[in-house]
Amino acid sequence: MVFYRIYGSVTLLALAAQSLAAPVIEERVYSEATTTYTSAAATTVPIVPVTNVTSHGPYTGTPTTTGALSTTVTAASVPALPADPIKYEYPADGQLHMDEPAPYTPGGGQGVNGSAPVYRPQSDFDYESLALALYQEWIELDLFHWGLATFSTEEFEAAGLNAEDRFLLEFMADQEAGHATLLTNILGAQAPVQCTYNYPVTNVQEYIDFSQKLTRFGESGVYGFLPHLDSRESAQLLLQSITTEARQQMIFRQFEGLFPMPVWFEVGIPQSWAWTLLAPYISSCPANQTRLIWQNFPSLNILNQPNPARINGSNAWNETTGGYTNTLSTKGIKEGDACLNATDPSEDCGPAITQNRTQPLSYPGRKVHLNWDEPGMALGPNNSYVTSTTVTEPRFAAWVTQLNVTYSPLMDISGNSAWTIQPNVSVFEGDPAINGTMFLAITDEDLYVTPFNLTQLNPHVAALALYQAG
């Protein structure tokens, strides 16, 4: 047995990369390593040059370019078509129906015929999607550093975040440098570089809330396009980055004293939604920065956005630091209403692995008050993108969560204001659909869309926000 294990390892060693060092064998044979070897890593790929962004705040200059990147547009929208009948042909009965290309290898699958993988974009769809993801990685890299540089140790401690928590934040920034390197290497010489940013926060609680919301659309933005990429090879690498980002999102929820994962499925969104929510926080980019094709929708402002800094979080009015992410503001919260230092464990919301909220942030039947911006607003890098919509009359709120898009009618529409009722809907029995940090759009139609064709909703979107359901 022992011989077999040595033999097996040696064979493996011979076959595998040189960097599989000898101590592996020792450790497999004996329960403890008997000798310490040092072995220098064979190669270390450098990360992209990262300069610390030194200026933050809004852009005040005049843009030299305006509008999203575009080429010849061949139709106003993509028509909805019936399903391809071939998709119903495979019997799916647990039996094998094809020859095996090799032992233990089922027939079918994509990218499994032995062709060497090529990790590069194969289409405009790929390039624009990966470039969007890179813009997102860059802002995260800066945001995590910026928080550490901006708020004092005392301010972090007052929000319940100690030195070990701050190291975790620093480590997350390091992860972003890796993700930015990966995407830059895939995209090549014209890959977007780091910009300067403008964050809607003034203290640690607002900062953690903004980070929790920003990583939500970062994660969901990638889930929306990942299965549509032509380059499955790039999708593989991006998948392995975005699962790390998903952990960051959950950790920010824990830092904020929220229930870490109140849903059974994480939602995916179209690229233009991610860009809409990201661009307002980019103030300027270098002159030759590669631009993006994606649409910027107008902001949806949630007047009673639930405020996780309150004991009764749903009892909030006009308590955000602005539209789009609708990040919490701590400004109007009176001492006895704040949950951070609440002494009753059912009311407190200090950082924790998990927290029960006795009074939920939102609930089915909640009246949600909304107003929305007109299109035509300049925002994003150097104020060089312009918000747009093809909708003239919004009539529905679209609750985009988990696997479902649920519509509720807009009531008392007056100019750019209305209210609606939070729907009572479950994905599957026992999993209320509307929870966590999710997406709320207003639309002109209650179009039926599912996770793989959510982008079909874009021509019907009038404005977009994040809603803090739980």
Ligand X SMILES: *[C@@H]1O[C@H](CO)[C@@H](O)[C@H](O)[C@H]1NC(C)=O
Q: Torsion angle, CA of 330/334/335/339, rounded to 10 degrees?
A: -50
- Smallest separation (angstroms) from ligand X to the CB of 18: 29
Q: Which is nearer to ligand X, 202 or 312 (CB)?
A: 312
Q: Of the ranges 2-10, 223-231, 268-276, 423-431, which one interacts with ligand X (CB under 6 A)?
A: 423-431
What's the rounded Cα separation, in Å, for the pair 148 and 169?
8
Vertex 50: Cα angle to 281 and 138 (nearest 5): 30
158-217 binders of ligand X (CB under 6 A): 158, 189-190
**For residue 283, how many C-alpha atoms fall within 13 Å in the half-sphere facing its CB?**
15
Contact, 330 vs 206, CB < 8 A?
yes
Vertex 402: Cα angle to 398 and 407 (nearest 5): 20
Does 284 bind ligand X (CB under 6 A)? Our answer is: yes
Residue whose C-alpha is closest to residue 466's, from 400, 411, 403: 400
Q: Which is nearer to ligand X, 143 or 434 (CB)?
A: 434
Q: Which is nearer to ligand X, 26 or 157 (CB)?
A: 157
Q: Which is nearer to ligand X, 182 or 282 (CB)?
A: 282
Of 318, 322, 374, 376, the one binding ligand X (CB under 6 A) is 318
Beta bridge partners of 420: 368
Does 250 bind ligand X (CB under 6 A)? Our answer is: no
- E strands within 176-241? 196-197
DSSP states along 336-400: GGB-TT-SSTTT---S-S----SS-S--TT-EEEEEEPPS--EESGGG-EEB--S-SS--EEEEE
Does 224 bind ligand X (CB under 6 A)? Our answer is: no
Contact, 144 vs 192, CB < 8 A?
no
Q: Of the ranges 176-184, 220-228, 359-367, 437-445, which one interacts with ligand X (CB under 6 A)?
A: 359-367
Of 235, 432, 439, 440, the one binding ligand X (CB under 6 A) is 432
- E strands within 96-170? none
58 three-state secondary structure? coil
Of 403, 413, 431, 446, the one binding ligand X (CB under 6 A) is 403
Q: Of the ranges 60-68, 120-128, 130-138, 209-217, which one interacts with ligand X (CB under 6 A)?
A: 60-68
- Smallest separation (angstroms) from ligand X to the CB of 33: 34
How many residues of this chain interact with ligand X, rule: CB under 6 A?
A: 56
Contact, 59 vs 382, CB < 8 A?
yes
Q: Which is nearer to ligand X, 43 or 152 (CB)?
A: 152
Does 259 bind ligand X (CB under 6 A)? Our answer is: yes
Q: Which is nearer to ligand X, 34 or 70 (CB)?
A: 70
- Smallest separation (angstroms) from ligand X to the CB of 99: 14
Residue whose C-alpha is closest to residue 18's, from 40, 45, 46, 49: 40
Vertex 108: Cα angle to 230 and 235 (nearest 5): 25
Does 408 bind ligand X (CB under 6 A)? Our answer is: no
CB atoms within 10 A of CB 388: 15
> Could you give the string, one character per residue 94-133, with x where binding to ligand X holds by CB under 6 A and - elsewhere?
-----------------x-x-x------------------
Does 307 bind ligand X (CB under 6 A)? Our answer is: no
Tell me which residues touch ligand X (CB under 6 A).
51-52, 61, 63-65, 80, 111, 113, 115, 145, 149, 158, 189-190, 259, 262, 284, 286-290, 303, 312, 314-315, 318, 338, 340-341, 356-357, 359-360, 362-365, 382, 403-404, 424-425, 427, 432, 434-435, 447-450, 453, 456, 469-470
